Structure 1
Amino acid sequence: MSKTDTQVFPHLSEILKIIDGALRANSSMAANYAGLLADKLEQEGNREQALRVRERLARAPTGIAHAQDAGRISTGLPIDTESRMHTVDVSHPMVDAVKLYLPSGVDSRIREFLNTVRYYDALQASEAASPLRLLIYGAPGTGKTQTARWIAGELKLPLLTVRCDTLISSLLGQTSKNLRQVFEYVEQRPCVLFLDEFDALGSARGNERDVGELQRVVISLLQNLDALSENTIVVAASNHDQLLDSAIWRRFPFRVPLPLPDFQLRKELWKEMLGKFSSSALDFDLLAEKSEGISGALIEQIVLDSKRTAIFAGATAIDPAELFKRLGLSLALVQRVALPSLEDEICWLRKWERKIFSLRELSRLYSISIRKVSQLTKEEDGEEKRGHS
């Protein structure tokens, strides 16, 4: 049996990138990918080969030698000439530092994309490779940014984040120039490019608000994506996938919707995020049931607020009623129910879940008498009478 290309050249992608850098007289690009090659060789146990690559890099001029560490990004970030602001933010997510909470089917699809990146050379040798581009979309707070950070961490690559709305310039043609600068910068170094708020750039052409400049932006985006090497990792995220141009969809072989967490995932999120602050009196099934329709990000915020309240009170665990209270008030915000006063809060909670928020429990939570709660909710103060009997 003959050896495949990847068995002979297991790091063909990095070698080709080094050659590209040399042909373009782009020493930084060549050095960046040579550094990545050395890292991969060392991880595989080929320390002598890694050392030889790094020795060659060490002989390069000082400015180039600094690029040999693939985890470092040199200065010279792209800048919007109108605002003088960087159009790219660089971060370095660590392996296992980012926790990913996704429904099992979605998690499987994301891991498939990750394996496609890792086995790209083997797939390409078998003519089964696809461009390394992932489009994730869904409601705010469902984990799009977290997913991009997790992918970068797992691949041990820097994450270059572009908030696409910051690329939009009032100057004619500047937006397309900003795009070109970002893609040229990304092409020169091993990284994960994260295009956040992607619909700001890729909105469908021909809608009522469409103008010539926006059309040119979409065309420029398509051209830059087409010019990008297929093994350059691109993750795009959108809260409004319905606005994306149909031609944009075709550029992303991997498309993964991120839904709001289902019952089982909500239950897992509550348990994981509460951790040691959990209470034996807490009914996680009821908590998962009552939190239907909210995002993982909102669950995290409710947990943080409840932990803070517990710490202020000198407690080692959260008060279950306090947690449900914060959940109920958060649901009111989601449903755009205005609760300007504590009295409004009490009435809302009583109406939302009577079993949890008895008159007595509301009295305890808000430090007012049961009679007062009874008057606010316009209910008989039978509980107070039973308490005195």
Structure 2
Amino acid sequence: MKRWQKALQDNYGTPTIELVSGKGSVVKDANGNTYLDFLAGIATNVLGHAHPAIVKSVTKQISTLGHVSNFYAHPNVLELAEKLQKLTGDKGARVFFCNSGAEANEAALKLSRKTGKYKVVATQEAFHGRTMGALSLTGQPSKRNPFKPLIKGIKHVPFGDSAVMKRVITKKTAMVIVEPIMGEAGVIVPPSDYLKNLRQYCDDNGALLVFDCVQTGMGRTGDWFGYEYSGIKPDVITLAKGLGGGLPLGAMIALGSASKLFVAGDHGSTFGGNPVATAAALSVISAIEKEKILSHVDEVGEYLLTELALIPGVTEVRGAGLLIGLTLNAPVAKALTKKCQDLGALINAPGDSTIRIAPALNVSMKQAQKFVVIFSQAMKEVSHV
């Protein structure tokens, strides 16, 4: 902790533990303690730690070709772009690679300017990143206020409210951006017809519909992107987190006519589509397919949704697949997170009475059962504080 405080800036505060190794869904700290990792690098390590396929592909790639910039092509970037194109079901889709979710959303924001319009509709409490453009889209005042003035022309409305969206989307709207399920806000699931309604409103007004799938994507919800249940397609998909399986990689995928908006020179990223990061991503997609992980996500997710709802002190459990949010009956989320850590499980408290869990997609049922025991015990102990 002293070394951290002396060498790193204070934007994160100071971590309480130092992790030194991991395998699958178990990590070890510098003192030799082990933990069930039910946060997975904030929904990022979709295959857990040290997955053999990722280790093999990254090792092979870094010993072959490390980095080429965006002046040249390489096999991995071509194959990954084609894979993502196929997953969207749109043969006309085109991919832009970057390094993070914030960068992917910055790219989407720039893309929307190519429509000739600049007004944007986003949602309150949404999280789209912390760079200035992405922060302008983020609907959390605590993160926005210290850095005003931000980009103008962005209106935030309540998430899940179709009626309000219908009123604010106009012919002047360049894009509407939403998360299929809000992650950072506490895993908030919208009404079943919400995304379908947004598609109609955007079509009626010539606006781009952008789905921020940074947290819901790459199998997290049991589907590849997290919006599939709606039966519609967006104009733009933004990805990161699980895409690289732990390596920094983001993508902005434009579908249909939106794929033709960027022309040469409009945007770029030195590291975007890096050979090593894209090698990891190809391994992630291959493993999800070969190991039938999407059906496993549904099974383990259903178990957790059911069992966590039975624990005293939990008033609501929501989510899809292995992106799960819980509401507690008291503002003890931070104390609960600390207690779970003491008992051997890592989780996240996005709010005073809200818990978020997002383990690796290949977490075992046995590990899920162990987590429920730990969480239940932690709730008991925190409730007596």
Instruction: Give the alignment's TM-score, normalised by structure 2.
Output: 0.27
Q: Greater CA radius of gyration, 1 or 2? A: 1
Question: Which one has the bigger helix percentage?
Answer: 1
User: Whose strand fraction is larger, Structure 1's or Structure 2's?
Assistant: 2
TM-score, structure 1 normalization: 0.27
* More contact order relative to length (CA 8 Å, sep ≥ 6): 2
